[in-house]
Chains A and B, each alone.
Chain A
C-alpha cells in the first residue's frame, strides 16, 4: 500500500518536472538571470545606442518575474495524474 503511495508521489514529481510550465519557467529564469547580468555590466555606450534604455536589465528582470510566475502557476495548479488504473508503466492496450 505504501509502495503504491510512494509510486504515485514519484509519478507526480515527474509530472511536475515535465510539465510545460516548468520548462517555460525554468528557461525564463535562466535567460532572465543571464540577461540581467549582461544589463548590469552593460557599457554606457551600449546603453546610449539602445535609445538610452538599459534594455537588457529591464527585459532580464521581466523574464525572471515571468519565469517565477510560470513555476508558481504550475505549483498552484499541479498537473493531474491519470486515474489510478492507468499508471505510466502500463503497456498500451486500449488502442
Chain B
C-alpha cells in the first residue's frame, strides 16, 4: 500500500475523519485570471464586509452575538448547518479521497451523515433547544457536573483553534498556488476578513456568509462537473472505465466489504455501526460548531428542522465533490503520482484545464469563500464556548451582559491571532498537526455516548459523564495505538481502524457510565427538567404544521432518499 494511502483518510466530515493533508507544493497550478474573474472575487469580498456592517446594528446583546438572538428561519440555519461543514478543506479533501479510494467515499454522506442529522433533528434537538442552553458543553454541566463540562469545553476550545489554524494555512496555500499571493500575506489577509465580519455581526454574520457561500460554491462547481462528466463520456462510461481500470471496489460502495474483502473502507459492520452510528452521531450531534447553527433558529420546530433541511442538499453534495474527483482521475494525466498533480488539487486542476473567464472567477470565489466560511464556523463557535463556558463559568461569573459581549469580541480577536500562530505551526510541523487532529476525533464518540445515555436514562449520576468521556476516549486511543504503533491489531486501513475505534469508544463509554452510576446518586428530578427524555420543554404556541415543516416525515424522506441514491449508484 502506498504511503499516501495510509497518511490520509477521506475527509468526509470536517472535524471527523478530515485529517487535512496539507497541500504539497503543486505542479504549476497558477490560474490565469482575467479582469472579470478578479471583479467577481472583489465583489464577493465587498458583500461579505457589507453583510457584517448591515448586521452590526442588530447586535445589541451577547445573545445576538453568540446565538443570533435565536431569531433565524429554518432554511437559513439549515443551509448554514451543512455549509459550516462544506469548507474548502472538505471540498478538496473529499474530491481527493474520491480520486484515491473511489465511490466508497459516498459512505461519508449517505450513511455517515444523513442518519445522524435526522436523529439530531428528531430526537436530540428538543433537549438542546428546549433547555435553552447556550452551548453543547452547557448541556453537560446541567445534566452531569462541572467535570464533564470542563473536559468538553476545554477540548472543544483547543480543537477549534487548532482546526481554524489548519484551515487558515490550507486556505493560504491554495491562494498562494492558484492566485500567486505570497503565503503569509494570504494568511494575514484572510484572517483579517474573517475577523472583521465576525466582530461586526457575530454569529449572524458567520451564518449569512455560510449561506451566501453555499450558493456561490454551487454556481462555481456545477458547471465544472457538467463539463467533466461530458468529457469522460457520461456517468455510465465513467463508472465502466474506472471499474475496468481500478477494480470493482473502486466504482461500487459495497463491493469488498464482506469478511476478507479488499474494500479499504473495511467491513460492512464497521461501516454501518462504526461510521454510520458511532462516529457520525458523535460528530454531527455533539459538535457545537454544527449545533450552534440550530440553536440560532427562531423556534423549537425551526431548530429541529435545521439539520433535516440541511440533510437534503447534503445528499447531493457528492455530485460536486466526489464526482469531479473521480472524473479527474481520468482527465488529469498523472493525478496522484509522484511527479504529477497531488490528489488534493484535483478540482483546481480541472478548473485550470476547462473553465473559461467568468465561470473560472465564480469557482475561485466559491473556493476562497468556502475556506473562510470553514474558519469562521470554528471561530464563531470558539468564542461562544470560551465566553460562556470558560470565562463566565469559571473566571468572572455574574457580570453584566455587556461585559460578556466585550469578552466575546476580545475572544474573537485572540482566537484569530492564535489561529494565525497555529497556521505557522501547521506550516512547519505537518505531522504534529495531523496527529492532533486525529486526537480530537477520539473525544467525539465517548461524548456522544454521554449525551445519549444522559438524555434517556434518568439514573445516570452526575459524575458518570466525566468518567464515560475519559474511559471511552482512552479506549479509542488505545485501539489506535495498538494498531498504528504496536502492530497488535490489524485493519485494512486507517479508515477501517477509525470505524472500529469508534465502536470501542462507544462500548467502553457506555459501560463506564452505567457502572459509575450504579455506585452513585442520580440527580434530583427537578434538576433534570428539560434535559431528559419524558421531561422535554417545548414551545406551547406552535400550532399544527404542514408536512414539509414537520421533522418526522421530512426526516424519513431524507433517509429514504439516501437509500435510493445507493440503489441508483449501484445501477451505474
Question: Which residues of A does B touch, CB under 8 Å?
Answer: 17-18, 20, 23-24, 27-28, 30-31, 34-39, 42, 46-47, 49-51, 53, 55-56, 58-60, 62-63, 66, 88, 91-92, 95
Contacts and interface: CB of A to CB of B under 8 A. Distances in A.
A35 B222 CA distance: 14
A14 to B, nearest CB: 8
B219 A51 contact: no
A63 B219 contact: yes
Interface of B: 34, 36, 39-40, 43-44, 47, 50-51, 54-55, 57-58, 60-63, 76, 208, 211-212, 215-216, 219, 222-223, 226-227, 230-231, 353-359, 361-362, 401
B215 A28 contact: yes
A92 B36 contact: no
A53 B219 contact: no
Given A34-B39, A34-B40, A58-B223, A42 B215 contact: no
Contacts of A50: 227, 354-356, 359
Contacts of B44: 27
19 contacts: A17-B54, A24-B211, A27-B44, A28-B219, A35-B362, A36-B358, A37-B358, A38-B34, A38-B356, A46-B356, A46-B357, A47-B356, A50-B354, A50-B359, A51-B354, A53-B227, A55-B223, A56-B357, A88-B58
A60 B231 contact: no
Contacts of A66: 215, 219
A23 B215 CA distance: 11
A55 B40 contact: no
Contact of A42 (B61, B227, B230, B357): B357
Contacts of A35: 36, 40, 358-359, 361-362
Contacts of A55: 223, 226-227, 355-356, 359
Contacts of A37: 36, 358
Given A30-B43, A63-B219, A92-B61, A23 B356 contact: no
A28 B343 CA distance: 31
Contacts of A49: 353-354, 356
Contact of B36 (A28, A38, A62): A38
Interface residue SS majority, chain A: helix
Contacts of B401: 92, 95
A55 to B, nearest CB: 4
A24 B211 CA distance: 9
A89 B418 CA distance: 36
A28 B358 CA distance: 13
Nearest to A47: B356
Contacts of B62: 95
Nearest to B214: A24
Nearest to B53: A18
Contacts of A36: 358
Contacts of B57: 88
B47 A27 contact: yes
A38 B216 CA distance: 17
A86 to B, nearest CB: 11
Given A18-B54, A24-B211, A35-B40, A56 B358 contact: yes
A42 B36 CA distance: 12
Nearest to A91: B60
B60 A92 contact: yes
